[in-house]
Amino acid sequence: MQVLKIGVAGAGVMGRNHARVLTDIRDVELTHVFDPDAVVAKGVAEAYGAMPVTSAEAFVEAGLDAAVIATPNRTHADLGVALLERGVHVLVEKPIAATVEDAQRLIDAAKANDRVLMVGQVERFNPAVEAVKRAIADEDVISIQITRVGPFPPRMGEVGVVIDLAVHDIDIIRHLTDSEIVEVQPQLARTKAEREDTALLQFRLANGTIAHITTNWVTPYKTRTLQVATKAKFVVADLMTRQVTEYFGQQPDGTYSTRGVHSWPNEPLKKELEAFVHAIRTGETPAVTGEDGLRNLEVALRCLGE
């Protein structure tokens, strides 16, 4: 099988994670790492046996088969379009872009050049989310509640919690329901950061499901929980420990039954990158399409009143 030459753009926290995981995937070679900071680019590239580059132009011209874009959101579209026009398959970190127009440019470029465009919504590959999806497969979903809170991350600067955190959960809600969000009721607060650092987001989906996201950067500890109520069961998942519990068979006296739902101990990022490679090799529609990324971004921007 032909080895895919893949490059990573952006050597921050996520870019480094991508570089690490790519070196562990069969028939894939990490060949280039791009970061405008020469010291950072060199350090990450050398750690994983790749070549450092410090300009977007050099990265686009590097002869790659595929690329991961983990640069700041505002740079996703220009770099992604340039790569797609060079015939390079692209996995772009969430959110797909900074604006809906930029997201559409990426989608159009992928179609025009017959290349794979996949969006890095890594929580979709979390084994706990996959286990919940299986548990509710034949159920009528009534409501979904997601809590994603924690302390302020020093790496953040350009976006608030809605773009950084809630985009994960908007995607999970769409994925679990196979429906689109049609109503948005956001409540935002700014306490310690320049942008919103607390958000309570309520949604109604086209299929009637209601959903709620609680997210912030003011909780001193991390929590990542998902709760789904259906007509027959209540499913609770911890997205960090991957523990999933199903509550069912509630009786008139208040008693009920529980069972643990098995979730495989896979690394979500590896599953995501393997899905990207699979889409490239087979020509199948990627697990998270550019259109998915566009829908998630549209909802997030509506929450921000943009």
CATH topology of domain 124-268: Dihydrodipicolinate Reductase; domain 2 (3.30.360)
The DSSP output letter for 286 is P
Measured distance CA(44)–CA(40) in Å, rounded: 6
Please tell me the predicted confidence (pLDDT) of residue 263. Answer: 82
Q: What percent of the chain has pLDDT over 70?
A: 99
Token pair 């450092």 is at which residue?
A: 52
Q: What pLDDT, on the 0 to 100 scale, is given for residue 158? A: 80
- CA distances for 57 relative to 232, 277, 282, angstroms: 55, 24, 29
Residue-level pLDDT at 157: 66
Using CA atoms, how far apart are residues 180 and 171, in angstroms rounded to an integer?
10
The encoded tokens of residue 271 equal 């599953």
Q: What is the DSSP string of 121-171?
A: -GGGG-HHHHHHHHHTTTS-EEEEEEEEEEEPPTT--S--HIIIIIHHHHH
Strands 89-93 and 117-120, by their bridges, are parallel
- Tokens representing 134 are 């299986």
Query: What's the CATH fold of domain 4-115?
Result: Rossmann fold (3.40.50)
Vertex 174: Cα angle to 169 and 178 (nearest 5): 155
Mind listing the pLDDT tens digit for each residue in 71-98?
999 999 999 999 999 999 999 999 999 9
The helix/strand/coil state of 277 is helix
Token pair of 83 as six digits: 């790569």
pLDDT at 134: 96
Q: Where are the domains of the chain?
A: 4-115, 124-268
* Three-state DSSP state, 61: coil
pLDDT of residue 290: 98
Tell me, what's the pLDDT at 190? 93
Q: Is 126 exposed, middle or buried (0-12, 13-18, 19+ CB in 10 A)?
A: buried
One digit per residue, the tens of pLDDT, for the chain of length 306 reads 799 999 999 999 999 999 999 999 999 999 999 999 999 999 999 999 999 999 999 999 999 999 999 999 999 999 999 999 999 999 999 999 999 999 999 999 999 999 999 999 999 999 999 999 999 999 999 999 999 999 988 765 688 999 999 999 999 999 999 999 999 999 999 987 788 999 999 999 999 999 999 999 999 999 999 999 999 999 999 999 999 999 999 999 999 999 999 888 889 999 999 999 999 999 999 999 999 999 999 999 999 998
Rounded-to-integer distance, Cα 176 and Cα 171, Å: 9
